[in-house]
Chains A and B, each alone.
Chain A
């Protein structure tokens, strides 16, 4: 996994609550057997006017020239609700996003994002609204995120702190292979298995 330490970049706004994973990556793109190439389909039904994806919807923020190259996404509460499809963080990351900032996230999405080096940041609703206002007010405005310090710095220099579980932060900062670490507990797993009652063996 790609480590995450600090990141400064252009932020893009999708000012909606409850953005579900069906919107992030619609089902017609889930039939692939690889992890790559999902970025072109990110937010397909909102981003394109046609099914083939040839006609960008000019109204949708990701298509607007001022947000080209954005690497931070700002959204409202309950981001990533619905399906457990990890294709959602794969699509977000493949598109070039490194950070999603929202007042809250659905649990499965939150874990999936971390497992892919995509940082989900929870700020208060008021802080997210302030970030959105500052980003909207100034084309090219940059937002900075420091995972070690657990802070987000707005374009005007306002600093907001956020919480993240120490275990998640540790894995992200070091780009650790979670499976490799857990395999190190092979003896403990075998010891547990030896004690499982026969009815659930």
Chain B
């Protein structure tokens, strides 16, 4: 029987499928952070339940942590309680924790892959919607709520209904200067922010295969922004080369067995998908969002859309509401939109390749007057690597702030927050109303586009001199 990549991973994880109940699937790796875990740990304690597999559970602190100081004193009292609660819970239940003093600490979706915790053919969950990131390795990875976090802690399984399958093929090669972020924003622009609801999406095609693991993670990370349950990319030599030798990747004979298994881990040639979407890579220009959801996206050489051009009343109302919030006029060229804040970071774009790409734009230039720009590496290891390459110096010389790892201004739970009226070029994943601070506007872009906007003070087409 022919199967898709998703179906192969799904089938190999069914523990039980009793009549009339949702199937019970096994979870290979459970990633934990401070915001969505305390109530789950409390639930275990109240019910007197054990954590079934502490060795398959990995925790870090990322959402609340300060990017200015690796000290608990830098946190608000509630944030401090939350990170201290995580530390206490990890101690009590025997969970490995990378706290703010550990060099492996970082955004949970940067940490997992770079330590080799994320492996092809596994099921990975975390109380965080951007768990989709790990699908870049051919894992089935998705975000869960805190009740499910508790379920995984107690049973190492989850109740799940099988999703529909969607194949998203990006044919051909992208033009120079086009990044993974532009590819995924173009996909979301095409199918909409709920186009993937109910589906597990497999990304494929020449433009996807050509991406590095960092780029693939950027694409899968935003699968949730099209509403998909998960995004996946079949593992190949790029995946295997990335994983070899990483701390938690299999070693010796187990590594050989793993590689053999991973080479067979792809959709069969004639596998049937419930939906199929095709994009031509050569059509993709640098992308940026104009509105208040990731589907409200245009190319840099386009204008702010006009709601009067839209016939669907719900979509028209959404455009009007978004325009009102972002204070932009239909017909405005996106290159005429000025910004005063820039955020380079997040689980979407804070890996070494992202920082190299931004530094390439920043090198020898200066951040425009009136613009504040921060660079937040995804983890301690990314920070170390970037500093070894001198990227920190390039950013600092150009007037960017070089910070400590964490989620930072992607969701602004710590003190990296926009003020009302701020307009930000951000490499993160959500441009919802108030996401980065009440009354502020977020435009999602690639690291190169964000760095270029910092220098110009407005959005620019990085394919041309600026």
Give chain A's interface residues, CB within 8 Å of chain B: 15-18, 20, 22-23, 26-28, 30-35, 45, 51, 76-78, 81-86, 89, 104, 106-108, 111-112, 115-116, 125, 165-168, 170, 178-179, 181-183, 185, 188-189, 192-193, 196-200
Contacts and interface: CB of A to CB of B under 8 A. Distances in A.
Contact of B159 (A83, A167, A199): A167
B147 A116 contact: yes
Given A81-B293, A200-B119, A200-B122, 16 more contacts: A16-B318, A18-B193, A27-B411, A31-B64, A32-B78, A45-B433, A83-B129, A108-B144, A108-B224, A167-B22, A179-B150, A179-B154, A182-B155, A189-B155, A199-B258, A200-B250
A195 to B, nearest CB: 10
A134 B52 CA distance: 50
B24 interface: yes
Contact of B121 (A26, A112, A200): A200
A200 B148 CA distance: 22
B257 interface: yes
Contacts of B433: 22-23, 45
A132 B268 CA distance: 47
Given A179-B155, A189-B26, A31 B147 contact: no
Contacts of B128: 83-84
Interface string B118-150: 010110000111000000000000111111101
Contacts of B16: 185, 188
A127 B89 CA distance: 47
Interface pairs A-B: 6 shortest CB-CB = A199-B258, A112-B145, A86-B145, A33-B38, A31-B78, A84-B143
B39 A35 contact: yes
A18 B81 contact: no
A3 B20 CA distance: 18
B142 to A, nearest CB: 8
Contacts, number: 194
Interface centre among A20, A108, A198 (most CB of B within 10 A): A108
Given A31-B35, A82-B129, A183-B154, A106 B197 contact: yes
Interface of B: 15-16, 20-22, 24, 26, 28, 35-36, 38-39, 42-43, 47, 49, 52, 63-64, 76, 78-79, 81-82, 85, 119, 121-122, 127-129, 142-148, 150-151, 154-157, 159, 161, 163, 193-194, 197-198, 224, 227, 229, 250, 253-255, 257-258, 261, 293, 314-315, 317-318, 321, 411-413, 430, 432-435, 438
A77 B194 CA distance: 9
Contacts of A170: 20-21
A115 B47 CA distance: 17
Contacts of A22: 411, 430, 432-435
A28 to B, nearest CB: 7
Contacts of B121: 200
Given A179-B151, A199-B255, A107 B198 contact: yes
A107 B145 CA distance: 11
A178 B197 contact: no
29 contacts: A15-B317, A16-B317, A16-B321, A17-B318, A20-B430, A23-B432, A27-B411, A27-B412, A30-B35, A30-B63, A35-B39, A78-B194, A78-B227, A83-B411, A83-B430, A84-B145, A86-B39, A107-B227, A111-B145, A111-B148, A166-B20, A167-B22, A170-B20, A179-B150, A182-B154, A185-B155, A188-B15, A193-B156, A199-B257
Nearest to B413: A27
Contact of A45 (B156, B261, B318, B438): B438
Contacts of A86: 36, 39, 127, 145-147
A82 B433 CA distance: 12
B244 to A, nearest CB: 13
Interface centre among A30, A125, A168, A199 (most CB of B within 10 A): A199
B231 to A, nearest CB: 13
A181 to B, nearest CB: 8
Nearest to A103: B314
B261 A199 contact: yes
Given A189-B15, A189-B26, A178 B147 contact: yes
